A and B are shown apart, each in its own frame.
Chain A
Amino acid sequence: MTTTTTPPATGATTATGPPPQPSRRTGAVVRWLRHGGLSTLVFFLPLLLCFGLFSWWPIARSLLLSLQQTNFLTSRWVGLANFERVLADPLLLTALGNTTWFTVLALVIGFPVPVVLAVLIAELRRARAIASVLVYLPVVFPPVVAVLLWKTFYAPGAEGLFNTVLGWVGLGPFAWLNDGDMAMPAIVVQATWATFGTATIIYLATLMGIQTELYEAAETDGAGIWSRLWNVTLPQMRGVMLVMALLQVIGTFQVFTEPYVMTGGGPENRTLTLLMLIYRYAFVAGDYGRATALSLLLALVLAVLSAVYLWVTRRWSTS
């Protein structure tokens, strides 16, 4: 073993040898500090802690729970048994079918409404502000209050609000939520009412951002109102519309509050959704293994949808 002498740490260089070089790692740290890395970290730390504690750790814990059978006191690893039990549950297909049906109905019923409303409001000159407020009003209702309100509107007897109104024109009474075929569309109508305000305001903002020169040029070319709508408005909005559609699909796949409060999943499980099934596993059966397994399966599906969303937004933003 040999020892080497090093120049005194005065910082002075001599012609006899190269100056002492800091190691690559130390240099990187110094550079990082000089470029404000420490202050970035300090500012970033609370965010990291919050996300870590309340978002990432629960996700990691769910992953672990899905592979365990636990009573929260002792746990044992069961491999993929929870997933097998979920996939063997006949209610899974029912819930998946109902959730998909809700998503499709929400797209068919709920998607065009805010587009049409936004176009109409954009045409208003004086009452645009008040119309925007009125359209957004349902969004500020607490969700459970709104759902309970609609539940009473849907009262199945002749004295129910909707049945009374329809009775004036000789229709009904309808069973609404008590009818297996009508229950899900009825829930979709409520959900659309509760959420269309936000989408309308976003579409309205997009419409307001369309250059008026485009409309003027179209008018000069002799385009009528429908032609302008078809050839100017919709093409200018298509990027936002597609993104909104994808966000709606992701959101509606996680529907819970409306069917839980309005029907409890009935009648005959016709409105039982995937999130309600997860809730039943966890809080009715006390089986967190199955609940987290199904949650992860749902998260996988939503992750695919989110990937599509990311891909589409990037594609549209660069085109």
Chain B
Amino acid sequence: MTTHRHRLLGLAALALSGALLLAGCNSGQQDTAAEVDTDAPVTISVSNKPTAESPEELASFERRLEQFTTEHPNITVEAEETEFEPDTFQALLAGGQLPTVFLVPFTEMQGLIARQQVADVTDYLGPHDVLQSINPSVNEVVKGDDGGTYGVPTNAYSMGLIYNRALFEAAGLDPDAPPTDWEGVREAARAIEESTDAQGFATMTTENGGGWVLTTTSYGFGGLMQSEDGTQATVDNEATKEVLQTYREMRFTDDTFGDNFLMNYDDINNAFAAGQIGMYVQGADQYSTMVTTKGMDPEHFGVGPLPQTEDGLGTLGGGTVAIVNPTATPEEIAAAVAWIDHYYFQRYSDEEVARADAEASVADGLSVGVPALPLLDQEADDRYLGWIEDQINVPRENYTAYLESTRTLPLVPEPPVKAQELYATLDPVVQAVLTREDADIDALLAEAQSTVQSAIELG
């Protein structure tokens, strides 16, 4: 009897503490940005602290951090080297170890918003003019269905045609005039194949890369993979059929697609850096990977705009977003946004900071002036590049066509719902077309359409 009573009391206590906990959570959520005490002491953690392998960048980071804490004496910043990895993000979140400010790729944003794993920072941007003047087409990636803003883009690029300028020259092609349509791509691929040991063209096909590039290329052919509201899969569209038909002809008619059709991100980058591939579709930010990490000659790296057909819609964007931990308190969110403004955007308003950052990067052997999309407006971007002109170590004159396209070629957002699952569904479609000459493109896309639609409806 006594034991029974103790159990009942225990259950009641548990229920009460649970209720109190919930009440506590609710009362916390009722705080709004307007009520935040920005002078109250607060501690935040930030990710992507430069490692000791980049001593100058680390020193620059420390200087910026000191400057920030001087300007905001109530904010304590704990910097970590933690970086985004697809298979550790959830563990960081589940274990309460996710830093308050964390950098994630563009491709993750819509999934994170849908799963409510990022903080809504809309109401905290008010005091930061610069964060409200971000390039609207870039900023689209951090917008939720509810119109809220769930992060701040810190760099952006668009997908383009990456090509090897040395192979272009060897094949008698003009490296300053990359192909602008797919007929041109096929011709260039044939020329490279005939004149060099390299394969003319390649594409990623595994780990969602095949679907990602197919989606991007379909934009250039005028097709979308989902309706704008994300309720309908539109994978089975004419533009995607045309892309796959082009792949098939380059593979089996032109024989310019090589013989390995199981390539992930690293495989294709390694092959390109080694001069084994003439062209492929990828982000313009590959410059840093190729030159800084893989030792490619900067003069050999080329990037042009994503080739478009007459119906072309534009290209897909990519980049990095600073998100805020969804468990952060309003005070922590406000402090996090202040840090993002200070660390990632001060270079656009403060010449001294811009130059110091660039000098540190150059001293560490990193690339400065990599072709990218303007994060703010063109004027701010040009002003920033003017300040660091003497530090730029990237041959930007080689990317004139790409840089001009960043002003004109529209950015098309990623499929709004379950983009990663969509890409995973399309990987086997690309593999089928490249490995089997008799692959039925219509049937493959019809099946993919049904799979993606089911995934959307499953929620």
A-side residues, CB < 8 A to B, are 71-74, 85, 88, 90, 155-157, 175, 177-180, 262-269, 280, 282-286, 288
Contacts and interface: CB of A to CB of B under 8 A. Distances in A.
22 contacts: A71-B93, A72-B90, A72-B117, A156-B260, A178-B261, A263-B206, A263-B262, A264-B206, A264-B262, A266-B205, A266-B206, A266-B261, A266-B428, A267-B261, A267-B262, A267-B428, A267-B432, A268-B432, A283-B86, A284-B421, A286-B111, A286-B115
The 8 A-B pairs with the shortest beta carbon distances in the complex, nearest first, are A264-B206, A72-B94, A267-B431, A268-B428, A71-B115, A156-B259, A283-B87, A157-B259
A50 B451 CA distance: 42
Contacts of B117: 71-73, 286
Contacts of B93: 71-73
Contact of B116 (A71, A175, A180, A269): A71
A180 B435 contact: yes
Nearest to A163: B259
Contacts, number: 82
Contact of A266 (B418, B421, B431, B458): B431
Interface string B314-339: 00000000000011000000000000
B116 A155 contact: no
A98 B95 CA distance: 34
Interface string B431-459: 11001100000000000000100100010
Interface string B100-127: 0000000000010001110000000000
Contacts of A286: 90, 111, 115, 117
A208 to B, nearest CB: 43
A180 B259 CA distance: 14
Interface string B197-240: 00000000111100000000000000000000000000000000
B458 A85 contact: yes
Interface of B: 86-87, 90, 93-94, 111, 115-117, 205-208, 258-262, 264, 326-327, 418, 420-421, 424, 427-428, 431-432, 435-436, 451, 454, 458
A178 B262 contact: yes
Nearest to B96: A72
Contacts of B431: 266-268
B454 to A, nearest CB: 8
A179 B437 CA distance: 12
A88 B455 CA distance: 11
A175 B437 CA distance: 14
Nearest to A173: B259
B262 A177 contact: yes
A284 B208 contact: yes
A90 B420 CA distance: 17
Contacts of B458: 85, 88
Contact of B418 (A88, A175, A285): A285
Given A72-B117, A90-B451, A268-B435, A285 B428 contact: no
Given A282-B87, A285-B421, 19 more contacts: A71-B116, A71-B117, A72-B94, A85-B458, A88-B458, A90-B451, A157-B258, A178-B260, A178-B261, A178-B262, A180-B436, A263-B262, A267-B261, A268-B428, A268-B435, A283-B86, A283-B87, A284-B86, A285-B418
Given A266-B206, A282-B90, A283-B87, A179 B424 contact: no
B424 A284 contact: yes
A178 B424 CA distance: 18
B327 A73 contact: yes
A264 B264 contact: yes
A73 B115 CA distance: 10
Contact of A269 (B90, B208, B261, B428): B428
Given A90-B451, A175-B435, A285 B327 contact: no
Most chain A CB atoms below 10 A, which of B262, B264, B431: B262
A85 B459 CA distance: 10
A157 B326 CA distance: 49
Most chain B CB atoms below 10 A, which of A85, A262, A266: A266
A285 B422 CA distance: 10
Contacts of A179: 435
Contacts of A262: 262
B78 to A, nearest CB: 21
Contacts of B327: 73
Contact of B420 (A74, A85, A269, A284): A284
A267 B90 contact: no
Contacts of A282: 87, 90
Nearest to B91: A72
B57 to A, nearest CB: 29
B262 A285 contact: no
A80 to B, nearest CB: 14
Nearest to B209: A264
B108 to A, nearest CB: 9
Contact of B424 (A71, A85, A268, A280): A280
Contacts of B326: 73
A157 B451 CA distance: 33
Contacts of B90: 72, 282-283, 286, 288
A178 B435 contact: yes
A111 B356 CA distance: 63
A73 to B, nearest CB: 6
Nearest to A283: B87
Contacts of A73: 93, 116-117, 326-327
A42 to B, nearest CB: 28
A109 to B, nearest CB: 22
A284 B87 CA distance: 9
B439 to A, nearest CB: 9
A138 B327 CA distance: 47
A78 to B, nearest CB: 11
A267 B421 contact: no
A265 B260 contact: no
Contacts of B261: 178, 266-267
A268 B432 CA distance: 6
B218 to A, nearest CB: 20
A268 B430 CA distance: 8
B214 to A, nearest CB: 14
A71 B458 CA distance: 16
B259 A178 contact: yes
B117 to A, nearest CB: 5
Nearest to A285: B421
Contacts of B435: 175, 178-180, 267-268
A85 B454 CA distance: 10
Nearest to B25: A74
A280 to B, nearest CB: 6
A264 B263 CA distance: 9
A137 to B, nearest CB: 27
Contacts of B207: 264
Contacts of A178: 259-262, 435
B424 to A, nearest CB: 6
B335 to A, nearest CB: 20
Given A72-B117, A268-B435, A155 B260 contact: yes
B432 to A, nearest CB: 5
